[in-house]
Structure 1
Amino acid sequence: MHFDILVEDASGKQALTLLVPRIIGQAHTYKIYSYKCIGHIQKNLKSKTDPQKRVLLDQLPRLLKAYGRTYAGYPPDYHAAVIVVCDLDAKCLKAFRQELLDILDHCNPTPKAAFCLAVEEGEAWLLGDTAAIVAAYPKAKRALLSSYENDAICGTWELLADAVCPGGAKALSTKGWYAVGGQKNLWAQRIAPHMDVDRNTSPSFCYFRDKLRSMLTPS
């Protein structure tokens, strides 16, 4: 089985590059493509931005149609799927998932695909493994980490920043979004190596893990 995995930012790619092999094993292949931001699904499913700007949801209708055509040309014994990974943020889970499924309905041929949403943000998947955070940041505020409710809509990256960064989210925010993005990349680089994919308590991460495994075919 081969997976083409589309993620909304560089930090997501950093983490998944380490985690996906632990989920699917060595008998299967994958490639991860990161985008610069999530963007929005256009109502007419027509992109309004230059593809080089790499805005995930804006480009998604075009991308899924292209994967459908590409996969249709593969030999019958070669199996592939596209996995879209992005943050839910403050969106309604049911409504957003339906928007994504509606894009697939406009693809002919339709690629094998799955949509995996990090609830609330990608940092929720890191927070699903407190032991990994403490291994990467031994001085992390454990009481704060233990107070976190998995996949809560609570300002996820801010909570992680408060737990592991000097001055917390407030100090980090004063440095601007570029600094926040850099810190998110650092979290992925430092925490993901310690993560146990079968120990994770984030429901949205477990959905991602189990969805990949359910799509595996005999090698």
Structure 2
Amino acid sequence: MRKKRRDHLGAAKKGIIQLEVLVEEESASEALKSVLAKITEGKRVKVGIRQFRGKPDLLKKLPDRLSGYAASRRRGEDVRVVVLVDRDTDDCVLLKRQLDKATADAGLVSRSRRDGSGTFHVLNRIAIRELEAWYFGDWAAVLAGFPKAPRTAPRAYRGNPDTPSGKCSDAFEAALRAEGIRISSKPEWGRRIGPHLNVDENRSPSFVAFVTGVREILDS
């Protein structure tokens, strides 16, 4: 813990932003490594991706984690936070409200509650319905990671991949299996596809909102 605190203080003294990204599990961590590297390229940013044991674990621990970041900011550290969760079957409005409340309770400002200056400390984002919708939104990235995948995404996901009902992770696995690809590991999907995701072109509105929000919090 002491080493981590020294690292944060050193970053603050050098004018480096410490971007803390909280995700549900390893699969999101693997998928976002390259995405965040592309977004932060050329900026004085140190990225830390913190994975949890699923969404319930993240939501349970979020208040304490945010309180810790708030304390770091009071010490002068330029810590900014991104929270990413899947919508799954939750009510999107209620889930976002829960995330924003945890942010406010910790004494931090979320993007949706920023003041006139535009400054905010926490970006709360929801992948709709699951992270795999982002893969459907950039099928070229899927083909780069899985050359034997179908040439096109399933028909239901060729438009807005956030809209189909059901678990898109199941639909994604089925698309791979249709071509004999028996890889069901979500972290492996992230490792293969993440490096190829185009941060400027994706048909998933929730992916676009994530990228736009990260860029905004870095400039906030």
TM-score when normalising by structure 2: 0.78
Provide the C-alpha distance between the structure 2 equivalents of 1:199 and 1:144, rounded to a whole number of angstroms.
16
Q: Counterpart of 1:90? A: 89
Which of 86, 93, 115 is the aligned partner of 2:124? 115
Shift of the alpha carbon at 1:165?
A: 2.6
Q: Unaligned 5+ residue runs, structure 1?
A: 40-54, 173-178
Counterpart residue identity of residue 207, structure 2: F
Query: Which segment is superposed worse, 196-205 or 133-142?
Result: 133-142
Counterpart residue identity of residue 10, structure 1: E
Q: Counterpart of 2:19? A: 3
Superposed CA deviations along residues 114-159 of structure 1, whole A, max 9, x for unmatched, are 1111100111122211111122222222454343141123311011
**Alignment RMSD (CA, Å):** 2.3
Shift of the alpha carbon at 1:72?
A: 1.4
Shift of the alpha carbon at 1:2?
A: 2.5
- SS of 1:216's equivalent? helix
Whether the 8 Å contact between 1:3 and 1:31 is mirrored in structure 2 is yes
Percent identical across equivalent pairs?
28
Q: Counterpart of 2:11? A: none
1:123-142 paired onto structure 2 within 5 Å? 123-142=132-151
1:142 to 1:58, Cα distance in 2 relative to 1, 3 A: same
Counterpart residue identity of residue 34, structure 2: L
Equivalent pairs counted in the alignment come to 190
Which of 35, 39, 47 is the aligned partner of 1:30? 47
Shift of the alpha carbon at 1:18?
A: 1.2
Provide the C-alpha distance between the structure 2 equivalents of 1:212 and 1:63, rounded to a whole number of angstroms.
19
Q: Counterpart of 2:30? A: 14
Q: Counterpart of 2:114? A: none
Shift of the alpha carbon at 1:26?
A: 3.2
1:144 to 1:108, Cα distance in 2 relative to 1, 3 A: closer
Superposed CA deviations along residues 167-201 of structure 1, whole A, max 9, x for unmatched, are 88xx97xxxxxx85xx1011111111222111112
1:2 to 1:165, Cα distance in 2 relative to 1, 3 A: same
TM-score when normalising by structure 1: 0.79
Which of 181, 185, 197 is the aligned partner of 2:187? 185
Provide the C-alpha distance between the structure 2 equivalents of 1:117 and 1:20, rounded to a whole number of angstroms.
16
Shift of the alpha carbon at 1:107?
A: 1.6
Counterpart residue identity of residue 138, structure 1: P
Displaced runs of 4+ in structure 1, greater than 6 A?
none
Whether the 8 Å contact between 2:66 and 2:103 is mirrored in structure 1 is yes
Q: Unaligned 5+ residue runs, structure 2?
A: 1-16, 111-120
Shift of the alpha carbon at 1:106?
A: 1.5
Provide the C-alpha distance between the structure 1 equivalents of 2:104 and 2:55, rounded to a whole number of angstroms.
21
